[in-house]
């Protein structure tokens, strides 16, 4: 079971470098492509997942032994991350959670400022960190630990700044007012 959780975590994380980074770095190009842009990461992601799965023994062989208490904390982090992700997905709606407004100007969404968005501006990314951290503490697989650290760094140093630039362009003064009201990007009291 822990091997399945570890490999699934690594596979799902691939969406970050294969889709979210390019979408935010090359938003103008992605908007020109429109909804067909979703084919690009899908065509790349599936073969990558196949290669990862076929070589899973290499990814999963390096582990650390996690004592029982941190492992239980891992379950709590994973579950709370999943619940937070579901909550934000419900608030953002299907188009918002899969990034359609970032890819096409034809679909407009509203700036969501309620629920967890009233405390931090990017609760979906916090949910990812909780999920990945929990998966690492539950499995002890070093590759999952590396993915967790990479996700945290990439999200905070690259994706959030680029996404906030896009939100500023899309929502203007509404986003500026929201930033003043909710000063924390990722964790209340930090960043």
CA–CA gap between residue 74 and residue 157 (Å, rounded)? 25
CA–CA gap between residue 145 and residue 153 (Å, rounded)? 12
CA–CA gap between residue 123 and residue 134 (Å, rounded)? 16
Q: Which two tokens stand for residue 113?
A: 């400022």
Closest CA to 10 of 65, 56, 47: 56
CA–CA gap between residue 164 and residue 11 (Å, rounded)? 26
| Per-residue pLDDT tens digits for 109-134 | 788 899 999 999 999 999 999 999 99
CA–CA gap between residue 113 and residue 59 (Å, rounded)? 39
| Per-residue pLDDT tens digits for 48-96 | 999 999 999 999 999 999 998 999 999 999 999 999 999 998 888 766 6
Closest CA to 34 of 96, 94, 97, 99: 99
pTM for the whole structure? 0.88
For residue 102, give the 3-state DSSP assignment. helix
Length of the chain: 191
169 vs 109, residue with greater confidence: 169
The answer to whether residues 185 and 160 touch, using CB atoms and an 8 Å cutoff, is yes
Query: Tell me, which fold does domain 2-181 have in CATH?
Result: 1.20.120
């Amino acid at each position: 079971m822990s091997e399945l959780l570890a490999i699934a975590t690594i596979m799902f994380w691939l969406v970050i470098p294969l889709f979210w980074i390019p979408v935010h770095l090359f938003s103008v190009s992605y908007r020109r492509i429109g909804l067909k842009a979703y084919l690009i990461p899908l065509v790349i992601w599936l073969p990558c997942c196949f290669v990862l799965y076929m070589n899973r023994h290499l990814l999963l062989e390096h582990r650390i032994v996690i004592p029982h208490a941190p492992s239980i904390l891992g379950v709590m982090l994973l579950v709370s991350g999943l619940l937070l992700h579901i909550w934000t997905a419900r608030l953002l709606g299907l188009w918002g959670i899969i990034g359609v407004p970032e890819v096409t100007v034809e679909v407009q969404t509203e700036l969501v400022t309620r629920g967890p968005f009233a405390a931090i501006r990017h609760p979906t990314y916090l949910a990812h960190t909780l999920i990945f951290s929990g998966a690492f503490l539950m499995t002890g697989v070093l590759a999952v630990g590396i993915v967790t650290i990479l996700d945290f760094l990439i999200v905070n140093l690259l994706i959030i700044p680029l996404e906030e630039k896009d939100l500023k362009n899309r929502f203007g003064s509404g986003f500026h007012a929201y930033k003043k009201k909710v000063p924390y990007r990722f964790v209340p009291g930090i960043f």
